[in-house]
A and B are shown apart, each in its own frame.
Chain A
């Protein structure tokens, strides 16, 4: 009974927290009043919109997600330098762009979205499309000699960690 009431009041507990933090950041000041108002918004908005997203992602590991974010930020910095180098030094004729197909083991739409976003933000790769039944991801690589190596790196570096986060 208490659990049902909790689920009714807080359909997406993490979203509540995120909305409260976003509100405080928007106000640019941390006072008790702002924190309380942020929490009120954080409870009201998910409650009012919960009929449009009935499935709460289950088993989300926040600690691993934070570690994953740091890894991605580090990769983004390296990727930027790499892509900048390619842009400045590789002439158009020598550029070797490739399509690669990443077979997906992830099932949850949230996890696939995160993976696609990560791929777009990191080393010379843009995720372009999903196959019609969601079993593979189409990725475009800017410049590589070894397309299979890039695919294995994506699976090993990002997908494996996301599988642990959404276990």
Chain B
């Protein structure tokens, strides 16, 4: 068994694990029935799923004898942007009252999403 063959098997294994996690993420998205719980499955399971696919890409490039490190950059950008998009979806759900109303904060008046003058108007118009 040479190192290249080992790397190929490792890449295949990573691909399998990654696709399994992505499949679970999709199942979660379809199964849950509340916008906030739905948000959990893709944001978390997606990071490891895509992480494993990228690891497979690194291993495969190594096995082909052409090492590549682009994937680390993709991973870094993904980890920076995934929480931001999750946060925005959560804010929309709170703003449109699609989910259970959150408890009010102990020290301040309200949550910043509910604080906008636009939000107050929306409430009045409804």
Contact = CB atoms under 8 A, between A and B. Distances in A.
B21 A92 contact: no
B15 to A, nearest CB: 16
B110 A131 contact: yes
B64 to A, nearest CB: 14
B123 interface: no
Given A87-B41, A120-B82, A129 B68 contact: no
B23 to A, nearest CB: 9
Given A25-B70, A95-B32, A76 B48 contact: yes
Interface in A124-167: 124, 126-136, 138, 140, 142
Given A120-B83, A124-B40, A140 B70 contact: no
Given A84-B21, A120-B82, A140-B36, A131 B112 contact: yes
Interface size class of B (residues with CB under 8 A): 35 or more
A32 interface: no
Contact of B112 (A22, A28, A92, A130): A130
Instruction: Specify which of A83, A99, A101, A130 lies most central, judged by the most chain B CB atoms within 10 Å of its CB.
Output: A83
Interface residues of A, number: 38
A99 B43 contact: no
B39 interface: yes
Interface of B: 21, 24-25, 27-28, 31-34, 36-37, 39-41, 43-45, 47-48, 68-70, 72-73, 79-80, 82-84, 86-87, 90-91, 93-94, 100, 102-103, 105-113, 115
